[in-house]
Structure 1
Amino acid sequence: MTTTSSVGQSVLDQLQKTASSSNTGTTSKTGTASLGKDAFLQLLVTQMKNQDPLSPQDNTQFVSQLAQFSSLESMQNLSSTVDTIASTYQSSQALQASSLVGRSVIVSSGSAVVDTTKGLTGSVVVPASNSSTTVKISDASGNLVDTIDLGAQAAGTTSFTWNGQNSDGTTAASGTYSVVATGTANGTATALSTYLPATVNSVTMGVSGAEMTLNLAGGSSVGLSKVQTIGI
């Protein structure tokens, strides 16, 4: 009569053996690289059919193997659920990305593409009270175009507007302009962060769960989490 030991190793041993074979890149004799829940159950049933009636399998071992089978099934179901969630997230991200193209966003930046017939409106972050706050506008060649004096400012965020004109009152050419804000407190000048508008030209989808990147007019890029405001 065939005994349990002659049938082969226990289901757990078979699982470990298969996992080891898969990790080393080898292929099992049956051509299967992994042991799924169906094969697991077949091994368990075969083991029960061929057990020695004079020395049957211990109930504790049987229950333990059933628990392993249940755990394996749960993990496979969980993996399937996670894959579904990931697919849904990617679809949602793609839909969100398509809706952002062509939109105006407010991001932390030191430059902006400006249509000088419409001017530029941005904001300056003032971490502490300043006796003097200025915003300098320079063209792509680094030439100073205009200086905006915001005067004394309390801690917080203050907005500014450039009318698109040079300091002599003539309209500047449309293009990319750099914006540098400084605040003076106790005689010491400190660089301040600026938030400027930009148009989203395209969106790069995140890989492996990474956030999407917005490619802005002017050639710069920024992560979606860095966007302060999304406009029309």
Structure 2
Amino acid sequence: MNEISSADSVFAELAISRKQNDKDASQELGQSAFLELMITQMENQSPLDPQDNTQFIAQLAQFSSVESLDKLNKNFDSFSDNFIANQALQASSLVGRSVTVPAEQTALEAGGIVNLSSELPASTSDLSLNIYNESGSLVEQIDLGAQRQGSVLLRWDGMNAELNGQLLDWKSSHDEGLPPANYRFELSARIDGEERALDTALSANVNSVTVAADGTLALNLAGIGTVSLADVKQFNE
């Protein structure tokens, strides 16, 4: 796999791939070489037992069919290369931006905000968020109170928190808030008397884009790691 952090790198990688394809193609049997072989075959055939004309026609027809399929494959490969190039170029433009993906941990950047989203399957009398540092210690606990069934959207900057667009009456237990680092988030709700863990999606900055040999694109996210481009739930401002 190849890691890409700019549009120039995308085109450089594709140029290398095309050069390799051209090298492989130059080693294939072309039309002129095929005709030379046929002429040589005709010149060296026995005059007492010449090859039937229908055999030459069959060989020409077979070569014509193979050549047509080869051109079709080359046209398809060209279309595939253009599609991958366009997709890679779009992905490279995400470098430095924030995206939201299914995750339990992410990085709080200096001066940044972590966006957390989840889906509450039923109304709850007690929704809470626990935040752990990289060593696994509980560093913050945010009581979000009673919430109705539906989407949960929370923004956290290490000092303050905002739930569904409303600033919470909550402050970090640390005087200056939590520092930039990787943190793990556990969102839970008490539903019908039982404590349930909820799936979360978190925001993270795109550090680079990876292009696999088959053209599959993946994003390398700060604090999360490598995820497929298809897993992105939201592109953040």
User: Which of the five TM-score ranges fits, normalised by the shorter chain?
Assistant: 0.5 to 0.7
Gaps of 5+ in 1: 1-31
State how far apart, in whole Å, the 1-side matches of 2:140 and 2:96 are: 28
- 1:129 is matched with which residue: 122, 126, 133? 122
Matches of residues 1-232 of structure 1 in structure 2 within 5 Å?
A: 35-45=29-39, 57=52, 59=54, 61-114=55-108, 119-126=113-120, 128-131=121-124, 132-141=126-135, 142-154=137-149, 156-162=150-156, 164-165=158-159, 166-168=171-173, 170-175=175-180, 176-209=182-215, 211-218=216-223, 220-232=225-237
Normalising by structure 1, we get a TM-score of: 0.68
**Percent same amino acid among aligned pairs?**
32
Q: CA deviation at 1:231?
A: 2.5
Normalising by structure 2, we get a TM-score of: 0.66
Q: Which one is further off, 62-71 or 44-53?
A: 44-53
RMSD between superposed Cα atoms in Å: 3.3
Larger Rg: 1
Instruction: Report the residue type matching 2:82 in the other structure.
Output: T
State how far apart, in whole Å, the 2-side matches of 1:114 and 1:33 are: 53
Change (3 A) 1:88 1:34: closer
Contact kept, 8 Å, 1:137 with 1:145, in 2: the verdict is yes
Q: CA deviation at 1:46?
A: 5.3
State how far apart, in whole Å, the 2-side matches of 1:146 and 1:76 are: 63
State how far apart, in whole Å, the 1-side matches of 2:156 and 2:143 are: 8
Q: Which one is further off, 179-188 or 198-207?
A: 179-188
Structure of higher RCO (CA pairs closer than 8 Å, 6+ residues apart): 2
Instruction: Report the residue type matching 2:209 in the other structure.
Output: V
Question: Secondary structure at the residue paired with 2:144?
Answer: strand
Change (3 A) 1:133 1:43: same
State how far apart, in whole Å, the 2-side matches of 1:56 and 1:204 are: 56
Q: CA deviation at 1:216?
A: 1.8
Question: Secondary structure at the residue paired with 1:81?
Answer: helix
